[in-house]
Amino acid sequence: MPELPEVETVRRGLEPRIVGRRVLGAEVRQAKLRQPVPSDLDARLKHQPISAVTRRGKYLLVKAGRETLLVHLGMSGRLRLLDAPAAPGVHDHVDIRLEGGLTLRLHDPRRFGLVGLCERDTGAHALLQNIGPEPLGETFNGDYLFRLSRGRKAAIKNFVMDSHVVAGVGNIYASEALFVAGIRPSRAAGRVSRLRYANLAWAVRTTLEKAIAAGGTTLRDFIGVEGQAGYFRQQLFVYGRAGQSCARCGQAVKQQRIGQRSSFYCGHCQR
């Protein structure tokens, strides 16, 4: 479900409400997520004061004392911040209880999400070790993509969705950015010019920024921490719009499977 803009929406919703509060305890009802939820989650988080909520790619990091809680929402994860205790429903796997009667609750039907703890003090975690640059950061640009892509034969859509190449770009925003940049998603990554990579880097950045401004994209699962939907869906050019007309040229948007994932593009505007 959630790509970078959705996780950033969650982060922005959480930060002002939980920073400064202490963790009272953690309840794990289902430990079998993408990785097992640490059995000492409660012991290590209890009494710790939350000092920051940050993001790395699609990972959310909650700094609590010397510990750092790591959360990933996978395909179907939702994080809600409850103002009052409420009985857990199906797929409500983890609760983090905070001062002030707040509960941070992870709901994840497919259980591709993840709740973990980083190394004490350093905040390091194996899953964060080899992630590419932040697409909204300074080191991400066309030259970086151009250099890294030389000799690569894989489709450029897979290339930009590779978390080792750039963090946080998933199936929706890869399709959208490639449309904005005018590049066909099936094109070999190594056969795209420096200039077009500059366009793509810009397209990725602006697409993500606009999506964040809209509170993310709600297709089915995604909601913010207060339960609100994101409305970037209304601004999608191609994703999920197969057969509908391209906003730029009017031709029907096409759908094609690339690397097991649905991809959407305009055959006229994207080469």
Partner DNA sequence: CTTTTGACCTGACAGC
Partner DNA sequence: TGCTGTCAGGTCAAAA
Binding site for DNA (CB under 7 A): 1-3, 6, 32, 34, 57-58, 72, 74-76, 90-91, 109-112, 127, 151-155, 158-159, 161, 163, 170-172, 189-190, 217-222, 259-262
| Beta carbon of residue 153, minimum distance to DNA (angstroms, whole number) | 4
- Please state the closest distance from residue 13 (CB atom) to DNA, in A: 15
Q: Residue type at 45? A: L
- Check if the beta carbon of residue 224 is closer than 8 Å to that of residue 9: yes
Strands (E), 110-151: 114-117
Please report how close the Cβ of residue 75 comes to DNA at its closest, in angstroms.
5
Please name every residue paired with 62 in a beta bridge, in sequence order, or none if there are none: 53, 69
Q: Closest CB to DNA among 5 and 23?
A: 5
Assign 2 to helix, strand or coil: coil
Phi, psi of 249 (to 5 degrees): -120, -10
Contact in structure between 93 and 110 (CB atoms under 8 Å): no
Query: Exactly one of 58, 105, 157, 254 is catalytic; which is it?
Result: 58
Q: Nearest-CA neighbor of 73 among 32, 113, 131?
A: 113
User: In the bound complex, what is the minimum distance in angstroms from residue 127's beta carbon to DNA?
Assistant: 5
In the complex with DNA, the residue whose CB is nearer, 22 or 187, is 187
Q: Looking at beta carbons only, is 136 or 219 nearer to DNA?
A: 219
- 97 bridge partner residues: 25, 103
**Structure token digits, residue 150:** 């030389």
Cβ closest to DNA, residue 102 vs residue 263: 263
Active site residue 150: no
Helix (H, G, I), strand (E, B) or coil at 264: strand
Residue 81 vs 161, nearer CB to DNA: 161
Q: Shortest Cβ distance from residue 152 to DNA (Å)?
A: 4
Neighbouring residues of 30: CB distance < 8 A, sequence distance ≥ 6: 37, 91, 93, 94, 111
| 185 part of the active site | no
Give the residue numbers annotated as catalytic, written as ranges. 2-3, 58, 261
